[in-house]
Structure 1
């Protein structure tokens, strides 16, 4: 079994009136190559006639964002011409690549009626050879993501990318990033084989889990060593897990604000390109 190196508690980092916990990076962990960043927004309930999410137009270059909408919705728009409103159970996968501007706000309906909101946003690095690829965006509703019932339906796995339990994920990523969300009912068990050389990304969203004999709980990121292929999970209570794995790139990471590159010169160039308008012009 793969052993646990450390457990990292997500740190409170509210954004305006949006409840937010930063799970990566924190004071105890910088990144888990190639996983760079995770914000856990909510859970919270918005009242009717609210302002919704605060993420107006902003640029990105050099990485990908994967957003999991657990409750509420997100209305996406970007300078690549993509638009969508994704509801509960859906995901957004955006490859920023050479650069674009996007906004992630709540739909007019959500701002009018309010309701529960909970969202995870994960940033995944791109290797140097792909930093400047053409941007792309994929928005999928819950019904478009394969769901696999395991352990007599005590575990339901939502295959976002890669291959899980013999089922192909909904997204074919640019790099070999495998991601899934798992819903456990109390008593659910699952065993997985994941090659030891791959980085594991293991974040408990809700409830408590036991992984390879150790207990973890909500808003904990578990960091693993690279010393085993086996992962054994048990849920003593209902739980939700964000699980991923990928081969580490082992390249320099230089990040500044919304840009993630390999050198400081590339960061300076990103700002110059953005200011020159090569990321596109925002249209309301």
Structure 2
């Protein structure tokens, strides 16, 4: 999805013994009816584990007649991960997939050698008006899988592991954590967890991964001497046992994993370990060589000029 602000957020280094490496402040932009905050990539920090892109679509109410229209656009060498807290829209892609994306479900689209997709509000929902709030991630595929066949997989929230601790509920959306494994197929070690926690509770981060981060959606959490009470990403130092104190009812996501197997180039919707491959994808899109989306092939997002 092209929820794409043009300015990268900045990282604030934290000089302390708290186990916090840095904090990334989001930058928001209105994209024709809904606000999006870009978190990754950021100046000073491009990735957390394999996650190379993190967009938070802030809560938004649509009036009757309004909705989301992300026109067909291409991707290569990555997987998109869409997770909603409110609202719904229809995902379509060039494989012929058509799926209603609803809160609590996970939608994993593997671009591989190339895919085109769109996201639009259902006509009936558009007539009534509605809401939208969610997160979209891009996962950079390992080099050995960058050119695999594209695929789309939808997982209902009932399929995702749910665990309860003293004062909190966690849903393992992707990967493995706390002894639970998501059914979503992945290509490298990673985790992505949705947490709702009550004030006064404590939550430990998984210790099995080299890179770990938290993105706060609401509420107040603290670690060591640092207190966080607004949307931002906290990246933690390696090899530290991290305990979060929940100072006020909070919702946040935890994510991370093994570092990427080398640098990646990013241009528009394309990610690759090869800049030449991105140049080829640019030519292919401009010259109409990507497959089209059945039922949504009358318009598309043009290749940017720069």
Tell me the TM-score normalized by structure 2: 0.85
The counterpart of 1:217, out of the listed 221, 229, 245, is: 229
Residue ranges of structure 2 left out of the alignment (5+ in a row): 1-16, 296-306
- 2:96 matches 1:92: no
When residues 163 and 31 of structure 1 are mapped into structure 2, their CA distance, relative to the original with a 3 A threshold, is closer
Query: Alpha-carbon deviation of 1:60?
Result: 0.4
Query: Alpha-carbon deviation of 1:31?
Result: 3.0
Distance 2:53 2:224 in 1: 24
> SS in structure 2 opposite 1:271?
helix
Distance 1:33 1:157 in 2: 20
Distance 1:133 1:84 in 2: 22
Counterpart position of 1:101: 116
Residues 112-131 of structure 1: matches in 2 within 5 Å?
A: 112-131=127-146
Counterpart position of 2:56: 40
String of CA shifts for 1:169-228, please: whole Å, max 9, x gaps. Answer: 1313122221111111222212234136x1113211122211355322332111222242
Counterpart position of 1:4: 20
> SS in structure 2 opposite 1:162?
strand
When residues 2 and 162 of structure 1 are mapped into structure 2, their CA distance, relative to the original with a 3 A threshold, is farther
Counterpart position of 1:255: 266
Counterpart position of 1:168: 181
When residues 174 and 28 of structure 1 are mapped into structure 2, their CA distance, relative to the original with a 3 A threshold, is closer
- 2:195 matches 1:179: no
Query: Alpha-carbon deviation of 1:238?
Result: 1.4
The Cα RMSD (Å) is 2.0
> SS in structure 2 opposite 1:237?
strand
Distance 2:225 2:89 in 1: 37
Tell me the TM-score normalized by structure 1: 0.91
Residue ranges of structure 1 left out of the alignment (5+ in a row): none
Aligned length: 279
Distance 1:11 1:225 in 2: 23
